[in-house]
Chains A and B, each alone.
Chain A
């Protein structure tokens, strides 16, 4: 099967179980959201998928082959990419350099010791195109730390897309972004390539309901239910457990 396929995934730290028997699919083109109360294990799940954490049991398959034993960077090479909950960029570099790095890695040139990093014309053109897509081109040669936070989130998104991933995990993409800038994030996500499989972990329900075509509810490391936004918003259990809590 194409895309991501998780079966019976388990993870425990000592006696504490943070993920149990999770079955989860993310086919190409999917727009799924993962929601749940704090401490439900959403970030843990994302880390299990990206390889930052090793699962205690279960399988993770991608395009039919088992990736459960691969390291984090190998999974990125296969096409699984993730944005961070807290903006994590190369702060001493310019916007352009931030985008150049993932492209070099994708091309397998990241370890070359000669030939300028900025020497390849096609790469530079690709950077320009990508920045243009996020309306970041005028800021290309600014150091990251001079950008507004919302713009930094966009750079993070552009940086991740530069990897040309096939699965994209967005960990609270709007976290910390002032409401005046959050529409930028929303627009950017809406414009993601159609064939890309997207998993969004988010607290902002407006964002979730506008983007996701399917929502998975995680509680205490276990999938409570899965359904369309409509189904989820009507589900009494979810209302009580999650939405209720969120709206108190």
Chain B
């Protein structure tokens, strides 16, 4: 095995073996959406920020099986870091994202050292506790964060010095789409890499992973840290687009909704996260506009519907249909 051989085969496998079709379709749809809904760019941008957040949850939960209800901790920390950086250091957006990623990763690393030792309910509770502690710290550090009033005074410079953030949200849209694509590509590489396979193995059977000599705990901390970086980018992006960070970046609801979106789309596949977020956000948006008082009924019914009828998420629907029509190619003879 020669060293030069690896990148070559990597590329070849990528082209031959990996269907990039869903990705191409999604990107095309995003571009079409831009022209189809020129008045809803702000909403589309927000959806993309959520997609990024849910993607990061997909890596952590969908791939590695780390059941967390505290993903907002990473998002919020990225948001505050990017916000503070913009206010006090530099208003350059791209550097801000890097700072957000670093902050998210740092918190994930530190908290992951504890969290990755836990499972089940204990892990859920620990992850919630981390988030609540972060929120209380942000609330107490009022001089720095603005407390409940929010961190204000974020004014962004043009992206790459060229594109100014505008009123209608065109720059915001393309900026968010670019960041989403870059992060998606990174996650794609990570999930296809040995560590990606490795954490899927941990999700399937941690005991077996130990038995093949894998340092399970270290792998989980690593993947959680990568997830933290992506969640941090999502938070940073939100902070830059909204130009304000509030304590609600640490809201429990955010973690819970991300979970719903992920399961809705289909956990363990990156495009599942994208589809789930899109469907949830659009249903939420329409339901909340049609009936701002009672849309929670619809969301509740939607959630129950997923659990009972499409447990594998929207991506599982084709298989479910095949099952119905009795033409399931996977079925055992």
Contacts and interface: CB of A to CB of B under 8 A. Distances in A.
A159 B193 CA distance: 19
B46 interface: no
Interface stretch (B116-124, B209-217, B316-324): B209-217
Nearest to A74: B213
B218 A90 contact: no
B101 to A, nearest CB: 15
A113 B189 contact: yes
Contacts of A175: none
B17 A114 contact: no
A143 B329 CA distance: 12
Interface in A37-95: 50, 52, 72-77, 81-82, 84, 88-93
A174 B198 CA distance: 28
Interface stretch (A25-33, A99-107, A131-139, A184-192): A99-107
A112 to B, nearest CB: 5
A8 interface: no
Interface in B10-50: 10, 13-14, 17-18
Contact of B194 (A50, A72, A117): A117
A163 interface: yes
A92 to B, nearest CB: 6
B212 A72 contact: no
A141 to B, nearest CB: 11
Given A100-B197, A115-B6, A119-B10, A50 B204 contact: no
Contacts of A160: 211-212
A119 B9 contact: yes
A114 B10 CA distance: 10
Given A109-B194, A143-B330, A120 B1 contact: yes
Interface size range of chain A in the complex? 35 or more
Q: How large is the interface on B (under 10, 10 to 19, 20 to 34, 35 or more residues)?
A: 35 or more
A77 B330 CA distance: 36
Contacts, number: 128
A113 to B, nearest CB: 5
Interface string B197-227: 1101101110111111111101100100010
Nearest to A107: B194
A84 B213 contact: no
Contact of A115 (B10, B201, B207, B222): B10
A82 B197 contact: no
A116 interface: yes
B332 interface: yes
A119 B13 contact: yes
B37 to A, nearest CB: 36
Interface in A108-131: 109-122
A237 interface: no
Contact of B197 (A73, A88, A104): A104
Interface in A135-184: 143, 146, 159-160, 163
B194 A104 contact: yes
Contacts of B212: 76, 81, 101-102, 105, 159-160, 163
Given A76-B213, A110-B198, A118 B13 contact: yes
Given A89-B208, A101-B209, 20 more contacts: A52-B210, A72-B211, A77-B213, A89-B205, A90-B201, A91-B204, A92-B200, A97-B197, A101-B212, A104-B194, A105-B198, A105-B214, A109-B194, A116-B10, A116-B17, A116-B193, A118-B13, A118-B192, A119-B9, A122-B1
6 contacts: A73-B210, A92-B204, A104-B194, A105-B198, A112-B194, A114-B190
Interface of B: 1, 5-7, 9-10, 13-14, 17-18, 189-190, 192-198, 200-201, 203-205, 207-216, 218-219, 222, 226, 268, 330, 332
